[in-house]
Chains A and B, each alone.
Chain A
Amino acid sequence: MSEVAVVGFAQSPVGVREDATTSGVEMLVPTIAEAFGACGLTKSDIGFWCSGSSDYLAGRAFSFVSAVDAIGAVPPTMESHVEMDGAWALYEAWVKLLTGDADIALAYGFGKSSGAELRRVMALQLDPYLVAPLWPDSVSVAALQARLGLEAGRWTEKDMAEVAARSRAAAASNPAAQVSGQVAAADLLARPYVAEPLRAHDCAPVGDGAAVVIIASAARARELCERPAWITGFAHRTDSGSLGARDLLAVPSAAGAWSAAGGGSGAWVDVAELHAPFTHQEILLREAMGLGDGVTVSPSGGALCGNPMFAAGLARIGEAARAVMSGRAGRALGHATSGPALQQNLVCVMSGSGEA
């Protein structure tokens, strides 16, 4: 039986925010307030806070310390940070609750992607000796992976466009989405390449945003939420940092995380919110994790319709939790990725019954 549940989720609208700073405070304050409002909590109820963000994206040192302004540094509180997507901050918060050190924890992620030259900044996550000095940008690296799959017959450019079209149609019901609407895959395919073989619709838009997820121990979860999303499995894995030495068409870290979180033969979910910033990566993830046609993938529109750096993975878990809390799903998984070409992957499985 699960010991910890997601009881709250909120995210800011995703887009280019002229009024928001790289500290994230302007995006975080209303988002945290919304999450608190939904479950009747205040700051003093939170026993542990954990955030995910990046100084390279913010363009200043210790930028996450400024973000603490959004939660208040006085009175002193128990707080931590990961230089990764907020999904990994949630993982740390989950471990904290399992230790019994806190009953309620809040994880947040934020990124002002539009303030930096995102494609260049992302080169700094690559091997600092052999790769980063060449400044390969994030879109070009993903494009190398996309072509491998195209030429191996794993997918077609039409398959990729159909992922984009389906995602945008789904995002029409997501008020946080940056792009949404009905579009035909054929029309998308008529548009030019931005990094052949990728077109604009194959790449997540550059947007700013924040996401907040609140988790609680079993003793508190039921009083805070009518139908908590019980965490039945939570795991993350990483593949080699050497792009040229790993098989870019296999994602063992995604398969491994899913397996460790309860996936595998006989496992089922109704909804899978996948953090796939590029269309072909959704196809890769579905295959790696063995998600069949019975699984509704990214009903929020996914990262292709809003990908605020360091918040989008946490938002996938939040959206999956929301599907469970609303009763739309009996069991759902939220996935987050980090690193180039799906190098690192995290899976959080949640259910309404708490049964694994």
Chain B
Amino acid sequence: MTQPATAPLRAPLDIEFDYTRSLGPVLSQFMAALAERRILGARGADGRVHAPPFEYDPVTAEPPGDLLPVGPEGAVLSWSWMPEPLADQPLAVPFAWALIRLDGADTALLHAVDAGSAAAMRTGLRVRPRWAAARTGSIRDIACFEPSDGAADDDPDTGSAEVNPGMTITPVRLHYMHTASPGESFYLRGLAGHRLLGQRDGVPTREEVELSESGTVTTFCIVNVGYPGQKVTPPYVAAQILLDGADIAFGHLVLGCDASEVRMGMRVRAVWGDEGVSHFEPNGEADAPYESYERFM
């Protein structure tokens, strides 16, 4: 670390999760058709054709009737240029975002256009979809759009389609640079040196207090439910622990004894691991009387 020892600590945080979404009757048809390299729209009560289709008519709130084929070609209604694409966008090379009105539709679809350069883009440009090779029933089955020369699209389908009917999965990857507050940074630096440090009340807090490694279980629960990434095998105890000298309890694990032995008032001490306090374990002292911690529940 090149930061001064008092600067707030910072670290990247990468989060990944998949949204698995049920599609409902309308979008199920739309996505299944995409996997077959077809695009569907819906006709509204006012006669306008929406592509993508609506789930409920914006005028009457009724679900659509039979979906109808649109496109696959269309015209650009508006566009913007993406000179340095961001992660997970449809193309890794500079491209245009565009609102595209597919032939036969009255509304527009938002997608990417692989035009090569901004100079090649214009409103009114005719475009056609470039289909993804491996299709799953997702809006990304359209890899992007590309300028169309007007010739019939006789590109043979050499790709594959594997659709989980009625479902679509969207992976989400987010990146953050988290900063710790000055007080948190002080606490975290203490943990790195196997010291438990607190701060006395103040706005902002300034007075630093070194705390005991021992404390009292004020309340606890026994975790019986597993989850992905869990490092301790259930059943185990998650407890609130009031360190000697502190006025606020904090949450940690109590291990080193059977979960059924943990109780309110149990005296415990910190066990250090590679990343600060690994857990707390019984320290063998007699239980603290309830009156000594009831104020901190």
Bound form: Cα–Cα A25–B182 in Å: 12
Bound form: Cα–Cα A271–B112 in Å: 40
Would you give the shortest CB distance from B225 to chain A, in whole angstroms? 17
Would you give the shortest CB distance from B187 to chain A, in whole angstroms? 13
Residues on B with C-beta less than 8 A from A135 are 86-89
Interface contact A59-B81, CB-CB below 8 Å: no
A130-B52, A134-B110 given as contacts; is B8 within 8 A of A19 (CB)?
Answer: yes
Residues A112-142 near B (CB distance < 8 A): 114-117, 119-121, 124, 128-137, 140-141
Cross-chain pairs A/B with CB under 8 angstroms, 21 sampled: A18-B7, A18-B10, A26-B181, A30-B203, A59-B176, A115-B176, A115-B177, A116-B176, A129-B31, A130-B52, A130-B109, A131-B139, A140-B82, A140-B97, A144-B78, A144-B97, A195-B83, A197-B80, A242-B54, A244-B52, A248-B78
Would you give the shortest CB distance from A196 to chain B, in whole angstroms? 4
Residues on A with C-beta less than 8 A from B109 are 130, 244
Bound form: Cα–Cα A128–B169 in Å: 10
- Smallest Cβ-Cβ distance to B203: which chain A residue: A29
Bound form: Cα–Cα A148–B79 in Å: 8
A326 contacts B by Cβ under 8 Å: no
Bound form: Cα–Cα A232–B259 in Å: 59
- Smallest Cβ-Cβ distance to B142: which chain A residue: A134
Residues on B with C-beta less than 8 A from A121 are 174
Residues A223-249 near B (CB distance < 8 A): 240, 242-245, 248
Residues B70-100 near A (CB distance < 8 A): 77-83, 86-90, 97-99
A129-B139, A133-B138, A193-B81 given as contacts; is B179 within 8 A of A120 (CB)?
Answer: no
Bound form: Cα–Cα A205–B177 in Å: 18
A21-B180, A25-B181, A140-B82 given as contacts; is B112 within 8 A of A134 (CB)?
Answer: yes
Bound form: Cα–Cα A116–B182 in Å: 20
Residues B41-55 near A (CB distance < 8 A): 50, 52, 54
Interface contact A133-B139, CB-CB below 8 Å: yes
Interface contact B178-A117, CB-CB below 8 Å: no
A21-B180, A59-B176, A245-B58 given as contacts; is B80 within 8 A of A128 (CB)?
Answer: no
Residues on A with C-beta less than 8 A from B107 are 242, 244-245
Given B88, B184, B203, which contacts A21 in the complex, CB threshold below 8 Å?
B184
Residues on A with C-beta less than 8 A from B77 are 148
- Smallest Cβ-Cβ distance to B10: which chain A residue: A18
B172 contacts A by Cβ under 8 Å: yes
Given B27, B81, B180, which contacts A195 in the complex, CB threshold below 8 Å?
B81
